[in-house]
């Protein structure tokens, strides 16, 4: 069955990714982004401009919460739960309490994917620039320039674990800023 | 930033997470919460000087078991609530077990006791301060429990806040039992339960603000 294959493939990419294969992890995020885009586009049909922003928000949430994935659980159920949480949160933020989020099942989430990304309205680069300097520096060196943690530690004078903590805090901070009204 | 660039950024370097490290953080937070609560006990209430004698009282251990089971079940439930997938499969009814058991014991004992003793069994010597004291001792543990919940991804915020508060309440009750001489089940099931429920209600009320991610 196609859906099962998709689930299996996503799960494998995620697990291999989490064990240190960055290319697999990137592929996982890319396929997830396509699923999210289709999922959100259907549910935000009245506000299509918001879709890509929300796709990005969910991707960052998925990344920040990757330690809460339990390998014994289906990956799509996990990602779907995060996407639904973020969608409900989005509706609440935009004071559209009346909006019903359908209690669809996970299969629906897997059914369609959409690789056509529109431009996001909110620029993550700008948000990154507003982070506290240490967090910004850690993210810039490691997550953008691609330095290893050890190299970044040398360059910033922060210990290796501090670099990691600053990246983690910075990305959580970024997620919080994405929730703020523009 | 385009979504593809964002993905590239997220997937660059440092993707694996050490679960052991998270476990250490969680345990450390719990330990700190208990230390805070215990220090508060020493400063505000002091230890029960007759604690050694209470150890020989069976009801002291019933109280201990009641509190520990509330704490253990809420911790278990909290772990599930922290995972987006498991959150829908949480067995909240488990939470009721220790309360129901103790209520049964208390009701039986009240019925068997002479009428004129029942009020004393229910009110003890400290009914008017018990719940307040437990709630006060719950403060440091409440901070710990919320902090821990924030390290995960709860999707049912209100329930998560309530269970985090209940966990803090149970921890506080455990600490408070080093001071409090009351071991009568009827007393415990009313006033200890109330003391644990207050932080739970606070947790549920504040959850939307404290736990959103």
A72-82 per-position pLDDT tens digit: 889 999 999 99
Helix (H, G, I), strand (E, B) or coil at A11: helix
Which two tokens mark B14? Answer: 């440092």
Task: Please answer yes or no on whether B84 and A26 come within 8 Å at the CB atom.
Answer: no
Task: Please answer yes or no on whether A143 and B12 come within 8 Å at the CB atom.
Answer: yes
For B35, other C-beta atoms within 10 Å of its C-beta total 14
- The range of the structural domain enclosing residue B180 comes to 58-210
Token match 């991707």: residue?
A: A59
Token match 């999922």: residue?
A: A39
Cα–Cα distance, A172 to A135 (Å, whole number): 10
Question: Does any domain span residue B1?
Answer: no
Q: Does B9 touch chain A (CB under 8 A)?
A: yes
pLDDT for the residue A113: 80
pLDDT for the residue B16: 86
**Which residue in chain B has the smallest CA separation from A174?**
B213
pLDDT for the residue B168: 98
Q: Does residue B199 contact residue B167 with C-beta atoms inside 8 Å?
A: no
Task: Please answer yes or no on whether A167 and B85 come within 8 Å at the CB atom.
Answer: no
Q: Does B20 touch chain A (CB under 8 A)?
A: no
Q: Does B153 touch chain A (CB under 8 A)?
A: yes
Question: Does any domain span residue B46?
Answer: no
Helix (H, G, I), strand (E, B) or coil at B93: helix
pLDDT for the residue A105: 66
Residues in B touching A175 (Cβ below 8 Å): 213
pLDDT for the residue A97: 55
Residues in A touching B16 (Cβ below 8 Å): 18-20
Cα–Cα distance, B76 to A22 (Å, whole number): 33
**CATH architecture observed for domain A1-115:** Orthogonal Bundle (1.10)
Q: What is the DSSP letter of A67?
A: G
pLDDT along chain B (213 residues), means of 10: 91 86 94 98 91 90 97 95 84 94 96 93 93 97 97 95 98 96 95 97 96 93
pLDDT for the residue B153: 94
Which ranges of chain B does DSSP label H, i.e. alpha helix?
Answer: 3-10, 19-44, 51-54, 58-81, 96-112, 115-123, 127-150, 157-176, 185-187, 193-210
Q: Does B89 touch chain A (CB under 8 A)?
A: no
Q: Note the ipTM here.
A: 0.89
Task: Please answer yes or no on whether A59 and B6 come within 8 Å at the CB atom.
Answer: yes
Low-confidence residues of chain A, pLDDT below 50? Answer: none
Helix (H, G, I), strand (E, B) or coil at A146: coil
pLDDT tens digits, A126-154:
899 999 999 999 999 999 988 889 998 99
Task: Please answer yes or no on whether B4 and A117 come within 8 Å at the CB atom.
Answer: yes
Question: Does any domain span residue B19?
Answer: no
Cα–Cα distance, B5 to B62 (Å, whole number): 59
For B209, other C-beta atoms within 10 Å of its C-beta total 9
Q: Does B26 touch chain A (CB under 8 A)?
A: no
Residues in A touching B155 (Cβ below 8 Å): 81-82, 84-85
Task: Please answer yes or no on whether B9 and A149 come within 8 Å at the CB atom.
Answer: no
- Spatial neighbors of B110 by CB under 8 A, at least 6 apart, are B118, B121, B122, B186
Cα angle: B172, vertex B154, A176; to 5 degrees: 105
Cα angle: B115, vertex B188, B108; to 5 degrees: 45
Cα–Cα distance, A136 to A29 (Å, whole number): 22
Token match 């996982």: residue?
A: A28
Which has the closest alpha carbon to B159: B213, B69, B88? B88
Question: Does any domain span residue B26?
Answer: no
Residues in B touching A31 (Cβ below 8 Å): none
Cα–Cα distance, B126 to B187 (Å, whole number): 9
Which has the closest alpha carbon to A12: A89, A76, A108? A76
Cα–Cα distance, B203 to B166 (Å, whole number): 8
Helix A51-64 / helix A22-43 crossing angle, nearest 10 deg? 140
For B172, other C-beta atoms within 10 Å of its C-beta total 32
Burial class (CB in 10 A: 0-12, 13-18, 19+), B121: middle
Query: How many domains does one find in chain B?
Result: 1
Q: Does B86 touch chain A (CB under 8 A)?
A: yes
**CATH architecture observed for domain A122-182:** Orthogonal Bundle (1.10)
Domain ranges of chain A: 1-115, 122-182
Task: Please answer yes or no on whether A175 and B6 come within 8 Å at the CB atom.
Answer: no
Residues in B touching A82 (Cβ below 8 Å): 84, 153, 155
């Amino acid at each position: 069955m196609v859906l099962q294959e998709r689930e299996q493939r996503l799960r494998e990419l995620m697990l291999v990714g989490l064990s240190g294969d960055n290319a697999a992890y990137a592929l996982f995020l890319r396929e997830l982004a396509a699923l999210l885009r289709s999922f959100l586009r259907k549910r935000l049909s009245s506000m299509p401009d918001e879709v890509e922003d929300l796709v990005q928000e969910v991707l960052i949430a998925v990344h920040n919460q990757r330690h809460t994935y339990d390998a014994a659980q289906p990956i799509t159920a996990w990602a779907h739960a995060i996407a639904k949480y973020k969608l409900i949160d989005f509706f609440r933020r935009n004071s559209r309490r009346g909006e019903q989020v359908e209690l669809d099942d996970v299969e629906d989430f897997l059914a369609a994917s959409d690789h056509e990304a529109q431009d996001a309205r909110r620029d993550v680069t700008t948000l990154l620039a507003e982070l506290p300097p240490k967090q910004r520096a850690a993210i810039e060196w490691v997550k953008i320039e691609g330095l290893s943690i050890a190299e970044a530690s040398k360059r910033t004078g922060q210990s290796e674990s501090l670099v990691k903590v600053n990246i983690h805090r910075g990305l959580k901070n970024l997620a919080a800023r994405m929730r703020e009204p523009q | 930033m385009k979504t593809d660039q964002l993905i590239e950024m997220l997937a660059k370097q440092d993707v694996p997470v050490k679960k052991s490290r998270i476990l250490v953080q969680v345990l450390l937070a719990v330990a700190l919460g208990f230390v805070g609560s215990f220090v508060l006990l020493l400063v505000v209430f002091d230890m029960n000087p007759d604690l050694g004698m209470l150890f020989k009282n069976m009801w002291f251990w019933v109280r201990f078991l009641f509190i520990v089971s509330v704490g253990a079940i809420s911790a278990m439930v909290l772990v599930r609530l922290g995972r987006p997938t498991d959150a829908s499969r949480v067995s909240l009814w488990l939470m009721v077990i220790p309360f129901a058991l103790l209520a049964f014991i208390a009701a039986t004992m009240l019925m068997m006791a002479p009428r004129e003793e029942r009020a004393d069994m229910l009110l003890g010597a400290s009914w008017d301060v018990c719940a307040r004291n437990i709630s006060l001792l719950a403060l440091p543990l409440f901070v710990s429990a919320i902090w821990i919940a924030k390290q995960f991804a709860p999707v049912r915020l209100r329930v998560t806040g309530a269970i985090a508060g209940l966990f803090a309440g149970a921890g506080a009750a455990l600490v408070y039992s080093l001071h409090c001489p009351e071991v009568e089940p009827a007393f415990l099931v009313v006033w200890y339960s109330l003391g644990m429920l207050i932080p739970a209600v606070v947790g549920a009320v504040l959850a939307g603000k404290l736990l959103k991610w």
